[in-house]
Amino acid sequence: MRDVMSNKKIWFITGAGRGMGVDFAKAALAAGHAVVASGRDRDAVSKAVGQSDDLLAVKLDATKRADAEAAVRAKLARALIIIASQEPPPRRFIAGADAIATAEQKVADLKAQIDAHRNLSTSLAFDPQPARAM
């Protein structure tokens, strides 16, 4: 994903409170990218990675559903910014694999209804009357 305002790459790094996660976050920042760094302790992540305007440290304990949901929100927000900057923006945006599956099922159901009554529906087309001579 790219930050549409500055065209920077945005990295989402889990386990950034220690080990390789810290190394990845520091390397991405040093390369001029923006980083969302997550870990079980947000303060530990900030301390380990350091301070930067391009760093967002977030709490994420992958074993806790609420933490995971909160971390996945920081992606939806960025996706919406990207969508809003498109010319023209899409009329609809379906966010999430589960939402796409639901929408695809609705489309399939609607198509089946259209096909089941196509002849009757098209028989209602407007027949223009020929112009009358005066």
- Answer left, alpha or beta for residue 120, where phi above 0 means left and psi between -120 and 50 means alpha: alpha
The Cβ of residue 24 has, within 10 Å, a number of other Cβ atoms equal to 18
Confidence of residue 110 (pLDDT cuts 50, 70, 90): very high
User: What is the value of pTM for the model shown?
Assistant: 0.50
What are the tens digits of pLDDT across the range 88-98?
988 888 988 88
Question: Residue 6: its pLDDT value, please?
Answer: 57
More confident position, 119 or 66: 119
Spans of all domains in the chain:
10-91, 98-123
What is the pLDDT of the chain when averaged over all its residues?
A: 86
Class in CATH terms, 10-91: alpha beta
Kindly write down the DSSP assignment for every residue of 21-57, as one continuous string: HHHHHHHHHHTT-EEEEEES-HHHHHHHH---TTEEE
